[in-house]
């Protein structure tokens, strides 16, 4: 016999417990024996009166009752009434010696499952066993279905996503779960019995998902991405439709909404970032000056991103804002200020003071408000959230509002520690600047800073005049200073290659000691993690050192400074550096001296720098950091010399990558450099 789930037993069971009641003890005994002989699953308890049966009966003690219709001291119907008081579903079969329609009708009306006509002349064991089994299995099936419905209802109530059940061509709502009510703002009492499309409107263009999809098979599914209005405004959802058919043939649809707004936003951001990266590369390829770079950026923000007006400001020596490139139809907004150098906007001035992004909401022209909540904190910004304009913004606020601007963003244009200016963006979107706008604009300003820095470096490599500064330090605690003192030699640094985790690789030449002596001291220095002798020349040995600390040379390089030479002589460090015109030499020097008190400036002057290599192109803008690192390490490590001072495997090991990866980076870098040279 197949397993069944019966609520009387409370667990999976295959036995059938029968209470057999009849005042004919001979018949009861015979039938009990016959039932147990038909199937071992039967377990029969007998009683010869209603009184005895009531004493034996208890809820969940039996799976079926077979009771004689007429008995002295109480009949089967009275016992049926007793059973139904505690168990309305327990199978109850009335047994009678004479079958009639009146008995059947009376038994059914009283709640009996069925009735059985006794015939002492025949073996009725199989027939009664079948009747009992069928009655028990029907009840078990109904209870299992009810339990399944209860489980579904519990799951339906608890699932955190909105779910709706609807039917018919117009998707008339049958039920919704609490999450649906909370998310879409429609109570079940309001929406049940109404077409779903009357309440759950799409945000934007209408779509076809408000009818029963006929192209989906029964028990099939359909998936779509839709936008719906919620209590929090428009949200994006993955909608999965499950199609079923009711008993009357009506197609019923279960709709499950999964909020994908955040994931879609991430996808759009990644796509926008990829596009922006490519556009920056294109701008750097085509631009030859800072003005051309700034113009390309502001035009892209207006033409591609749909902002109303964009301009770039630069900080003048007197701390005023000088207007640079601008794009948009409101260029006259800046008229009269380009020449005077006035501070055009409060937010841009705040950026120069704080170096933090500013997003300001502009109150509407007709709302009569000044956008301020009257508190002293209304003019403060946390660098990310849009703030309301306050009293301090009155000088520019009226004109901005009159032009229909709804928000102003001012973002620092920097690279590393170098401030290059401010990017100011105006929008007329009623929503102002949302989270996506703020993130993309912040990244755009950073990209602009990087692009301006690249242009500046190009200019520094080809300019006829630069500011040359000689910096000196007597800090004997740096690894190179310690090695110079310990080895009694001068160290000339040929190149510095920064790596991850503040590690720096130096390519050095020694004067005054041999390679073996220097290596002995390098091994004893706990901040020197790796070393390799590249050329064991007796007069000027060449080595590669890997050191765990940031280098002054790399810090200067990140500031847009060109390091021409670096020398360490018995603890004293001297660097000759050149500042391009776009970098404030005094500001960078003072910032370095604030963190390095022993740093001194020995010489600071403008020099002519006309060199033969000026006529050659600079490094390609699309050269990645990894490719540049591979190229520089190979060059200064002697990989290109004949005979090679280092093999490809040795260079790769010093970079912490495989030989094949190093060669791949090197080949791509060579291709880009040669392409810049010959094309």
Residue 268 within any structural domain of the chain: no
Instruction: Tell me, yes or no, whether 101 and 46 share the same domain.
Output: yes
In the predicted structure, residue 514 carries a pLDDT above the cut 90: yes
Are 370 and 394 contacting, i.e. CB atoms less than 8 angstroms apart?
Answer: yes
Are 86 and 7 contacting, i.e. CB atoms less than 8 angstroms apart?
Answer: no
Residue 661 within any structural domain of the chain: yes
- pLDDT tens for residues 68-84? 988 887 888 989 999 99
CATH number of 362's domain? 3.30.450.40
Residue 163's pLDDT band, with cuts at 50, 70 and 90, is confident
Instruction: Tell me, yes or no, whether 396 and 434 share the same domain.
Output: yes
For range 361-381, the mean pLDDT: 47
In the predicted structure, residue 505 carries a pLDDT above the cut 90: no
Residue 524's pLDDT band, with cuts at 50, 70 and 90, is very high
Range of the domain at 51: 4-154
Lowest mean pLDDT among 452-466, 572-586, 608-622, 644-658: 608-622
CA distance 149 to 129: 30
Residue 281 within any structural domain of the chain: no
- Across the chain, what does the average pLDDT equal? 78
Cα radius of gyration rounded to whole Å, the chain: 44
The secondary structure of the chain in percent helix, strand, coil, rounded to multiples of 5, reads 40, 25, 35
- Burial of 512-532, coded b for 16+ CB within 10 Å and e otherwise, reads ebebebbbebbeebebbeebb
Phi and psi of 85, rounded to 5°? -65, -30
Enclosing H/E stretch for 155: helix 125-158
CA distance 41 to 654: 79
- Please tell me the total number of residues recorded for the chain in this structure: 679
For range 204-211, the mean pLDDT: 48
Residue 494 within any structural domain of the chain: yes
Instruction: Tell me, yes or no, whether 572 and 671 share the same domain.
Output: no
At 3 the pLDDT is 31
Query: What secondary structure, in 3-state letters, does 449-491 show?
Result: HHHHHHHHHHHHHHCCEEEEEEEEECCCCCHHHHHHHHHCCEE
Instruction: Tell me, yes or no, whether 32 and 149 share the same domain.
Output: yes
- Burial of 377-405, coded b for 16+ CB within 10 Å and e otherwise, reads ebbebeeeebbbbbeebeebbeebbebeb
pTM of the complete model beyond 0.75: no
Residue 266 within any structural domain of the chain: no
3-class DSSP state of 323: strand
Say which residue, 341 or 260, is predicted with more confidence.
260
Instruction: Tell me, yes or no, whether 495 and 359 share the same domain.
Output: no
CATH number of 208's domain? 3.30.450.20
Instruction: Tell me, yes or no, whether 292 and 428 share the same domain.
Output: yes
Say which residue, 470 or 616, is predicted with more confidence.
470
- pLDDT tens for residues 93-106? 998 887 677 777 88
Residue 312 within any structural domain of the chain: yes
Of 154, 182, 214, the one marking the end of a domain is: 154
CA distance 339 to 348: 17
For residue 179, the Cα-to-chain-centroid distance in whole angstroms is 23
- pLDDT tens for residues 586-638? 777 777 777 677 888 776 666 665 443 343 445 666 778 788 888 888 887 78
3-class DSSP state of 5: strand
For range 330-351, the mean pLDDT: 62
- pLDDT tens for residues 262-313? 888 888 877 877 777 777 777 766 777 888 888 989 898 888 788 999 999 8
Instruction: Tell me, yes or no, whether 346 and 359 share the same domain.
Output: yes
The burial of 210, by beta-carbon neighbours within 10 Å (0-12 exposed, 13-18 middle, 19 or more buried), is given as: middle
Cα within 13 Å of Cα(372), Cβ side: 15
Of 111, 136, 154, the one marking the end of a domain is: 154
Are 506 and 496 contacting, i.e. CB atoms less than 8 angstroms apart?
Answer: yes
Instruction: Tell me, yes or no, whether 514 and 624 share the same domain.
Output: no
At 9 the pLDDT is 46
Residue 533 within any structural domain of the chain: yes
CB-CB neighbours of 364 under 10 Å: 13
- Name the percent of the chain lying above pLDDT 90: 15
Instruction: Tell me, yes or no, whether 560 and 545 share the same domain.
Output: yes
- Burial of 464-485, coded b for 16+ CB within 10 Å and e otherwise, reads eebbbbbbebeeeebbbbbbbb
Instruction: Tell me, yes or no, whether 550 and 623 share the same domain.
Output: no
Lowest mean pLDDT among 291-295, 378-382, 504-508: 378-382
Structural domain count of the chain:
5
Which DSSP string corresponds to 246-309? -TTS-EEEEEEEEE-HHHHHHHHHHHHHHHHHHHHHHHHHH--SHHHHHHHHHHHHHHTT--SE
Residue 439's pLDDT band, with cuts at 50, 70 and 90, is confident
In the predicted structure, residue 343 carries a pLDDT above the cut 70: no
Of 591, 611, 631, the one marking the end of a domain is: 611
Instruction: Tell me, yes or no, whether 113 and 186 share the same domain.
Output: no
Instruction: Tell me, yes or no, whether 483 and 373 share the same domain.
Output: no
3-class DSSP state of 586: helix
CA distance 222 to 254: 10
At 372 the pLDDT is 38
Residue 653 within any structural domain of the chain: yes
């Amino acid at each position: 016999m197949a397993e069944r789930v019966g609520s009387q037993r409370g667990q999976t069971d295959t036995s059938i417990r029968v209470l057999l009641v009849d005042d004919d003890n001979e018949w009861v005994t015979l039938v009990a024996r016959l039932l147990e002989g038909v199937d071992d699953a039967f377990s029969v308890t007998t009683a010869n009166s209603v009184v005895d049966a009531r004493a034996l009966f208890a809820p969940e003690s039996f799976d079926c009752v077979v009771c004689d219709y007429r008995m002295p001291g109480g009949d089967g119907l009275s016992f049926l009434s007793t059973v139904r008081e505690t168990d309305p579903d327990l199978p109850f079969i009335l047994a009678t010696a004479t079958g009639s329609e009146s008995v059947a009708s009376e038994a059914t009306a009283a709640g009996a499952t069925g009735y059985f006509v006794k015939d002492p002349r025949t073996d009725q064991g199989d027939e009664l066993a079948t009747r009992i089994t069928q009655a028990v299995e029907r009840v078990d099936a109904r209870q299992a279905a009810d339990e399944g419905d209860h489980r579904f209802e519990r799951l339906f109530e608890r699932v955190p996503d909105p779910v709706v059940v609807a039917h018919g061509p117009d998707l008339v709502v049958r039920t919704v779960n609490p999450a649906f009510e909370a998310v879409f703002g429609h109570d079940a009492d309001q929406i049940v019995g109404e077409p779903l499309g009357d309440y759950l409107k799409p945000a934007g263009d209408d779509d076809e998902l408000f009818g029963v999809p006929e192209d989906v098979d029964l028990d099939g599914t359909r998936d779509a991405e839709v936008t719906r209005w919620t209590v929090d405004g428009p949200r994006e959802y993955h909608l999965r439709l499950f199609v079923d058919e009711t008993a009357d043939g009506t197609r019923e649809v279960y709709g499950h909404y999964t909020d994908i707004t955040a994931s879609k936003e991430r996808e759009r951001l990644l796509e926008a970032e990829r596009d922006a990266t490519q556009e920056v590369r294109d701008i750097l390829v085509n631009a030859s000056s800072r003005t051309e770079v700034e113009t390309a950026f502001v035009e892209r923000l207006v033409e591609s991103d749909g902002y109303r007006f964009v301009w770039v400001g630069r900080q003048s020596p007197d701390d005023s804002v000088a207007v640079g490139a601008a794009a948009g139809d409101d260029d006259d907004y800046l008229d009269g200020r380009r020449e005077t150098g006035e501070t055009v906007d409060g937010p841009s001035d705040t950026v120069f003071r704080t170096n933090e992004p500013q997003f300001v909401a502009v109150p509407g022209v007709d709302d009569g408000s000044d956008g301020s909540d009257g508190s002293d904190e209304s003019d403060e910004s946390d660098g990310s959230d849009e703030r309301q304009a306050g009293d301090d913004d009155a000088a520019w606020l009226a004109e901005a509002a009159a032009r229909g601007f709804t928000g102003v963003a001012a973002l620092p244009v920097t690279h590393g520690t170098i401030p290059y200016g401010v990017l100011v963006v105006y929008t007329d979107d009623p929503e102002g600047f949302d989270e996506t706008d703020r993130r993309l604009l912040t990244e755009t300003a950073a990209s602009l800073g990087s692009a301006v820095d690249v242009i500046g470096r190009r200019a520094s490599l080809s300019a006829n005049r630069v500011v040359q500064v000689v910096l000196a330090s007597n800090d004997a605690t740096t690894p190179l200073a310690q090695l110079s003192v310990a080895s009694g030699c001068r160290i000339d640094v040929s190149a510095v290659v920064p790596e991850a985790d503040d590690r720096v690789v130096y390519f050095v030449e020694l004067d005054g000691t041999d390679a073996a002596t220097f290596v002995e001291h390098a091994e004893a220095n706990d901040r020197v993690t790796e070393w390799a002798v590249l050329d064991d020349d007796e007069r000027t040995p060449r080595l590669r050192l890997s050191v765990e600390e940031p280098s002054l040379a790399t810090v200067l390089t990140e500031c847009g400074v060109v390091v021409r030479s670096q020398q360490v002589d018995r603890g004293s460090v001297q660097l000759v550096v050149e500042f391009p015109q776009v970098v404030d030499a005094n500001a960078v020097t003072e910032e370095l001296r604030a963190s390095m008190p022993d740093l001194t400036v020995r010489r600071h002057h403008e020099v002519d720098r006309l060199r033969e290599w000026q006529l050659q192109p600079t490094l390609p803008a699309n050269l990645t950091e990894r490719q540049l690192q591979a190229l520089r390490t190979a060059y200064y490590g002697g990989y290109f010399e004949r005979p090679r001072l280092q093999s490809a495997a040795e260079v790769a090991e010093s970079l912490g990558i495989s030989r094949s990866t190093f060669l791949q980076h090197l080949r791509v870098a060579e291709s880009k450099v040669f392409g810049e040279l010959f094309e």
